[in-house]
Structure 1
């Protein structure tokens, strides 16, 4: 089916092809041993083709072993097979015909979400398949699941990607670990900004759920989202934050010195406080504003809103209000 272009594997729906050669080889070994393989899930597109939404590692691993050219990979040579060690160092062509045919004829259960299904059902199905014990990060799941909404979801997520590459935003988030960036950490911070700025009503303590619920509200058109206006204010906010606070903008402070890397509660307080006072921040003396931000972050009142129980809505509002007042009074 893949060779005939009857199934589609969209990398934006899936994590990167992360399995090691050992993991791929053990899947082949499991199939030959007739061990049960988890089902794969497809969406039926408008043209009748199937689009893979869960099972990339299994499908790609077997395809790479049997016919690597179909997915533009080098042929897989088995390694790490620990039950049938005789399989190690063999390619598909090295197997006897009986094993080749056994692999080709082995079945895996495939579940198809029909094209008549409503977008939200398709979205919810993907989200549930990829939460709880999954190796996907929360933001990788959001990237994939947003696209199930079609053009509307693609537009929203592509906007997150574009804004995550805004120069001042990139410089201000350089303290993110490479592993976090690989797992779409910058895109999550852009969504975090919009959720903090526009979606406080969805804040109920769990940050991951909050960000997902806000994104869902936008995609289901329960919340308005003006792309042009939002991009303009986003650029202004992060350009202004960089001008007044620099690389320590989202850090904790002690004795007027930054401590550690980007702290999410500090991040949302700063970006929301600045967005509410953007005209002043853009025009005021940078040192005066930064001194006010540093002093506020070290104050006992502010720290009460970012410490224990920081995920309460009252504390969420308290830390943003504190930053807004500090700028207004600077």
Structure 2
């Protein structure tokens, strides 16, 4: 179908819009051997102090073994590795947030740590069933010396810019806006309840979020995760997105005002307890402006479960929040496998019950 010619006025308006929206993003380009990149990612990971870290807003790790193996095969035969995007955050003690490339870095880390067994290789078929340690020493060294180029955004790139880069690089980025989609597809009294809980002043105090996260309805996502995991965390066996969608679809079927009142009361009871006993709420420290999803899930659901078992719970101490075990369960890179989900939630539940006064 023919379109009308673009007028000079339209061109002028379009040019003004480009200038208004144009962003100047400061960055540096660096190059590192694979071994160095993996070391920066692995060292301090269990205590959430690794130099290269995965941010909360990114998707769950989704590459299966075959796709990971294919990436390793590509590196092995010398194909160039796409640029890794990282960002130097002003409040992160010089740490680098992985803006794009976390799956590649995690795959390399899994391979170098013998956690990945190569499978489904089509070019290097003789390497199927190999781990990294099965390679000749000379080949291990050559693999470690392969270089990766990294674009490092300076601290001037705020969270909105970083998310925008991630979404534009990755196709199918609507998955990052799941809560907005759910509001349209599953609108009704249950979604209204979730929004009411998300708007509670005490919740906003205990779970600080950036302005960008608020706009993306991250707070409603937190509330949905609380109710879904509280109801059936032990049955979690798929991606978080599918788990939440399935729970929401089923929960809204039998939802009524009485159930809604009970759910809200339990959420508020949990918040009151956290406010009383957890000095920094759901955040890692009092001055932090962000709340990691995994940390929120562990504390909120674990607390609610403990209160169900003992409504008059009064723990003597929550010093275990700074323990190596809790940090291991709640780092930004902790996986969402069923055992990990169960472990971190029940860790909080059991610690609260064990330390009861």
Q: What TM-score, normalized to structure 2?
A: 0.47
**Equivalence for 1:107:** none
The structure-2 alpha-carbon separation of the partners of 1:274 and 1:180, relative to structure 1 and needing over 3 Å to count, comes to same
**Equivalence for 1:272:** 301
Please state if 1:87 is matched with 2:7.
Answer: no
Q: What TM-score, normalized to structure 1?
A: 0.51
**Equivalence for 2:198:** 164
**Equivalence for 2:138:** none
Flag as ranges the 4+ runs of structure 1 deviating above 6 A.
257-260
Distance in 1 between residues matched to 2:267 and 2:297, nearest whole Å = 13
User: How far 1:244 sits from its partner (Å)?
Assistant: 1.5
For the 8 Å contact 1:139–1:184, the answer to whether it is kept is yes
Equivalent residue for 1:219, pick from 252, 255, 258: 252
| Mapping 1:167-186, distance limit 5 Å | 167-173=201-207, 175-186=208-219
Distance in 2 between residues matched to 1:258 and 1:252, nearest whole Å = 9
Distance in 1 between residues matched to 2:212 and 2:296, nearest whole Å = 19
SS in 1 for 2:336: coil
User: How far 1:221 sits from its partner (Å)?
Assistant: 4.8
Please state if 1:319 is matched with 2:344.
Answer: yes
- C-alpha deviations, 1:75-101, integer Å up to 9, x for none? xxxxxxxx54343579xxxxxxxxxxx
Question: How many pairs align?
Answer: 195
User: How far 1:305 sits from its partner (Å)?
Assistant: 2.7
Equivalent residue for 1:138, pick from 136, 158, 178: 178
The structure-2 alpha-carbon separation of the partners of 1:306 and 1:276, relative to structure 1 and needing over 3 Å to count, comes to same
Pick 1 or 2: higher relative contact order, CA cutoff 8 A, min separation 6. 2
Distance in 2 between residues matched to 1:88 and 1:244, nearest whole Å = 60
The structure-2 alpha-carbon separation of the partners of 1:278 and 1:201, relative to structure 1 and needing over 3 Å to count, comes to closer
RMSD: 3.4
Bigger Rg, structure 1 or 2: 1
Give the gaps of 5 or more residues in structure 1.
1-30, 36-82, 91-130, 148-153
User: How far 1:188 sits from its partner (Å)?
Assistant: 1.0
**Equivalence for 1:15:** none
The structure-2 alpha-carbon separation of the partners of 1:202 and 1:171, relative to structure 1 and needing over 3 Å to count, comes to same
User: How far 1:207 sits from its partner (Å)?
Assistant: 2.4
Distance in 2 between residues matched to 1:136 and 1:310, nearest whole Å = 18
